[in-house]
Amino acid sequence: MTTGDIVRLEHVWVNYGHTVALEDINLSVKEHDFLGIIGPNGGGKSTLLKVILGLVQPDRGTVAVLGNSPEKSRNKIGYVPQYSNFDHNFPVSVLEVVMMGRYGRAGVLRPYGKSDRQAAARALERVSMLAHSGSQIGQLSSGQQQRVFIARALVSEPELLLLDEPTASVDTAMQTDFYELLEQLKKEMTIVMVSHDIGAVSIFVDKIACMNVQLFYHGSKEITPEILEATYKCPVQLIAHGEIPHRVLREH
Amino acid sequence: MLEAFQFEFMRNALIAGLLASIACGIVGVYVVIKKIVSMSGSIAHASFGGIGLGYLLKFSPVLGAMIFALLSALTMGLVARRTKLPEDTAIGILWAIGMALGVIFIGLSAGYAPDLMSYLFGNILTVPVADIVLMAVLDVIIVVLVVVFYKDFLLLSFDEEFGTVVGMPVDALYILLLCMVALTVVVLIRVVGMILVIAMVTFPAALARQFTYDIKKMMLLAVAFGMVFTFAGLWLSYVLNLASGASIILLSGLVLLVSYGIAGLRARLRVKAPA
């Protein structure tokens, strides 16, 4: 195995019943990469993240994260799940949600201590949400909730950050702030972000992969119309009408 | 009313009500926020098999109920986590099998089952001292478990997937939570009966949820509501000469409905008010 690979997938297949979700995926993510994975809904993007987390076991192929199995490397991964997967009336404060990210460090029988609370406060400060630490999670706007879930992922000081559709419910004004935050974070960690928002992703990430059951990735930010067509299984004009190829190739 | 408390059975009834409120208030909060009300109802009803077995083999039906409740909690937990059977199907199966076993066992036990009604619908006025001791012990176990696993149960209830990611033993904790529900069923069985247990577990916690977003406060409030409902229901049943368990449940159900009604009206008024 090549050293320096943060994530390495080799010939990974995942089936849900008779449906193939991931077909022969090969992926290598290097240290300090900021990789965006785009593709249509149902194209297996979330499944791919779950394979990296060890939440979904591949039927075939090998997965290595930070040189180990996903399960063993989990405490070095920060995960921001797809928004709205939670009960908005759930009786929990912002600070308590962020502390959940310290669970791996605390372990089963040890309660959270002062250092956990301080780490949670720092993580909230980082995403400019410290002032809301006492609020109930459901009373925040969706953009603010997104920041809290990022803080929950950051509080364990991860080496790899996985984001599943982080901008899906965030309004456009908040999105710019959000990408600026990621801009800072990518100096400290490797980031893999999944999104169907091609435009925004292509401006901010360093490398792009296209995914629709199969993965199209050449370790760069260049996407050809042929790859987009293969990913979306429909005429390219539909996707490219926003001049995507130009945005993809930010001047450099 | 005061003269009623001079009787020993009334004092026992009050202690039993207090102990029942502690269990249902604390565990009820998890049942409500984790949305395992039906699952808990299934565990409660399946315990009837144990009551029947107690009658048949001539040991304490409460002990039988405890064995059956714990076994069904384990079964439900394993079935929900290790098989592809839909959860609500498993709930229905266990619920019915437990009840059917109880009916068969009681039928086999020469047809005579004293106090059967009090196990089904509760009778807070006839709780024996031995059962009060058992209730107190189970309460202590429940409180200790919740203190020790507070952060774990919070994460389990809020976001299981994230719990798995950060290395929490999610399945084991889920089964432990169901076992706590089983113990709560046993604590409550003498007070409101196994058929009404699920209401006593759900109502005080659901009402408490209307007033706070802090889990610890919610538990304290739910315990307090449980006590108020138990004693007010008991007083109503004494004054109106009604069954005590059903009076407690009806009173708490009415208060919960009124509270939801007021909350709904307030929300409407807020929408109509000019911003």
What averages of pLDDT result for each successive group of 10 residues across chain B (275 residues)?
67 91 97 96 96 93 95 95 91 95 91 81 88 96 97 95 92 97 94 92 96 95 96 91 91 96 90 63
pLDDT value of residue A166? 82
- A97 inside 8 A of chain B by CB: yes
Q: Measure CB to CB from residue A86 to each of B159, B166, B215 and give the nearest one.
A: B159
User: Where is B2: in which H helix or E strand?
Assistant: none
3-class DSSP string for chain A: CCCCEEEEEEEEEEEECCEEEEEEEEEEEECCCEEEEECCCCCCHHHHHHHHHCCCCCCEEEEEECCECHHHHHHHEEEECCCCCCCCCCCCEHHHHHHHHHHHHHCCCCCCCHHHHHHHHHHHHHCCCHHHCCCEHHHCCHHHHHHHHHHHHHCCCCCEEEEECCCCCCCHHHHHHHHHHHHHHCCCCEEEEEECCHHHHHHHCCEEEEEECEEECCCCCCCCHHHHHHHHCCCHHHHHCCCHHHHHCCCC
Higher pLDDT, A81 or A228: A81
Statement: residue A110 has pLDDT above 90: no
Report the number of distinct structural domains present in chain A.
1
- Reported as a single tens digit per residue, the pLDDT across A179-197 is 888 888 888 999 999 887 7
Range in A76-90, A224-238, B191-205, B252-266 the model is least confident about? A224-238
Q: Measure CB to CB from residue A86 to each of B154, B158, B213 and give the nearest one.
A: B158
pLDDT value of residue A239? 40
- A173 inside 8 A of chain B by CB: no
Average pLDDT over residues A160-182: 81
Q: Using an 8 Å Cβ cutoff, are A187 and A33 in contact?
A: no
Considering only CB atoms, which chain A residues are within 8 Å of B166?
A: 74-75, 100-101, 103-104, 156
Q: How confident is the model at residue A1 (pLDDT cuts 50, 70, 90)?
A: very low
Task: Note the Cα A113 to chain centre separation in Å.
Answer: 28
Task: Name residues whose C-beta falls within 8 Å of residue A182's C-beta, 6 or more positions apart in sequence.
Answer: A34, A191, A193, A204
Q: How confident is the model at residue A226 (pLDDT cuts 50, 70, 90)?
A: low
Q: Residue B159: which domain range? A: 2-272
Average pLDDT over residues A220-242: 55
CA distances to A14, A25, A172, B167 from A113, rounded to whole Å, are 40, 41, 37, 18
Q: How confident is the model at residue A213 (pLDDT cuts 50, 70, 90)?
A: confident
Q: What is the dihedral of CA B99, B103, B104, B107, to 10 degrees?
A: 170
Contact between B33 and A91 using a beta-carbon 8 Å cutoff: yes
Average pLDDT over residues A135-162: 91
Higher pLDDT, A240 or A187: A187
Minimal CA–CA distance to A155: which of A109, A203, A97, A223?
A: A97
Q: What is the ipTM of this complex?
A: 0.86
Average pLDDT over residues A114-140: 93
Contact between A103 and B166 using a beta-carbon 8 Å cutoff: yes
Q: Using an 8 Å Cβ cutoff, are B32 and B14 in contact?
A: no
Contact between B165 and A74 using a beta-carbon 8 Å cutoff: yes
Average pLDDT over residues A111-139: 93
Min distance B164 CA to chain A CA atoms (Å): 8
Range in A145-149, A235-239, B102-106, B152-156 the model is least confident about? A235-239
| Strand-strand pairing, A34-38 and A207-212 | parallel
pLDDT value of residue A211? 83
Rounded to 5°, the CA angle B211-B227-B51 comes to: 115
Backbone φ, ψ for residue B187 (5° rounding): -60, -40
Q: Measure CB to CB from residue A104 to each of B157, B166, B169 and give the nearest one.
A: B166
Rounded-to-integer distance, Cα B137 and Cα B187, Å: 9
String of b and e for B206-226 (b: at least 16 CB within 10 Å)?
bbbbeebbbbeebbbbbbebb
Rounded-to-integer distance, Cα B52 and Cα A250, Å: 75
Amino acid at residue number A190: T
- Please classify residue A234 by burial: count the beta carbons closer than 10 Å to its beta carbon, then call 0-12 exposed, 13-18 middle and 19+ buried: exposed
Contact between A53 and B165 using a beta-carbon 8 Å cutoff: yes
Q: Which residues of B touch A (CB under 8 A)?
A: 33, 35, 148, 150-152, 154-155, 157-159, 161-169, 209, 212-215, 218
- Please classify residue A195 by burial: count the beta carbons closer than 10 Å to its beta carbon, then call 0-12 exposed, 13-18 middle and 19+ buried: buried
Q: Residue A119: which domain range? A: 5-248
pLDDT value of residue A179? 82
Q: Domain containing B139 — which CATH number? A: 1.10.3470.10
pLDDT value of residue A175? 76
Return the CA Rg of chain A: 18
User: Where is B86: in which H helix or E strand?
Assistant: none
Min distance B26 CA to chain A CA atoms (Å): 14
Contact between A111 and B214 using a beta-carbon 8 Å cutoff: no
Count of all residues that appear for chain B in the document: 275
Q: Domain containing A218 — which CATH number? A: 3.40.50.300
Average pLDDT over residues A13-37: 88
Q: Which residue of A has its CA nearest to B211?
A: A91
User: Where is B159: in which H helix or E strand?
Assistant: none
Q: Using an 8 Å Cβ cutoff, are A136 and A93 in contact?
A: yes
Contact between A92 and B209 using a beta-carbon 8 Å cutoff: no
Report the number of distinct structural domains present in chain B.
1
Statement: residue A198 has pLDDT above 90: no
Disruptive mutation site among B151, B171, B219 for chain A (greatest number of A CBs within 10 Å): B151
- Please classify residue B135 by burial: count the beta carbons closer than 10 Å to its beta carbon, then call 0-12 exposed, 13-18 middle and 19+ buried: buried
